[in-house]
C-alpha cells in the first residue's frame, strides 16, 4: 500500500498530466481537425458549476492515484512507460465511454473512429506525463 504522501503526489502528478499532457495533445488534435472539441474548456459543469477544466483536472488527479496504486507492477524501463501509456489510454477512455457519457446523457457525435483516436491519444499522454511528473517529484 502507498503512503498518504505518495498518493497525494500521484494526485498532483495526475493533475499535471491533464494540463501538460491531455490538454496539450487535445489542442494538437483539435488544430489538426481530428478532435471535434477544443482544449482548456471553461464552461461550467454540474453538479457544482466549476469550469470543465477544473473538473477534468480533479478527475485526472483521482486517476493519478489509481495509476500510483498499480504502477509498481509495471516493472522498470521501457516496459514501465509502455504500460503507463496503455493504462492511460485504455482505463480512463473505457470508463468515460461506458460510465460517464451514459450517466451524463452524452450522445456520441462525429466520427467514432476519430473520437476513439482522440480519447486514446489524450489519455495515453495523460498517463505518460503523470508518471513523468511523479518521477520528477523524487
Q: Read off the pLDDT of residues 27-48 as tens digits, 9 standing for 90 and up.
A: 999 999 999 889 999 999 888 9
Distance CA(48)–CA(12), nearest Å, equals 21
Mean pLDDT of the chain: 94
Whether 52 has a pLDDT exceeding 80, the answer reads yes
* Whether the Cβ atoms of residue 126 and residue 22 lie closer than 8 Å to each other: yes
* Whether the Cβ atoms of residue 51 and residue 43 lie closer than 8 Å to each other: yes
Q: Read off the pLDDT of residues 89-130 as tens digits, 9 standing for 90 and up.
A: 999 999 999 998 898 887 777 788 999 999 999 999 999 999
pTM of the model: 0.93
Query: In terms of residues, how long is the chain?
Result: 138
Amino acid at each position: 500500500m502507498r503512503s498518504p504522501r505518495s498518493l497525494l503526489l500521484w494526485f498532483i502528478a495526475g493533475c499535471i498530466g491533464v494540463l501538460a499532457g491531455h490538454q496539450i495533445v487535445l489542442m494538437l488534435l483539435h488544430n489538426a481537425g481530428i478532435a471535434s472539441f477544443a482544449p482548456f474548456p471553461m464552461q461550467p459543469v454540474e453538479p457544482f458549476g466549476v469550469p470543465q477544466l477544473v473538473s477534468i483536472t480533479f478527475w485526472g488527479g483521482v486517476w493519478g492515484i489509481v495509476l500510483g496504486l498499480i504502477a509498481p507492477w509495471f516493472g522498470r524501463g521501457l516496459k514501465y512507460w509502455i504500460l503507463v501509456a496503455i493504462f492511460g489510454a485504455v482505463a480512463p477512455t473505457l470508463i468515460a465511454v461506458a460510465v460517464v457519457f451514459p450517466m451524463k446523457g452524452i450522445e456520441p457525435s462525429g466520427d467514432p473512429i476519430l473520437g476513439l483516436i482522440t480519447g486514446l491519444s489524450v489519455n495515453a499522454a495523460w498517463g505518460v506525463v503523470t508518471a513523468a511528473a511523479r518521477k520528477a517529484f523524487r
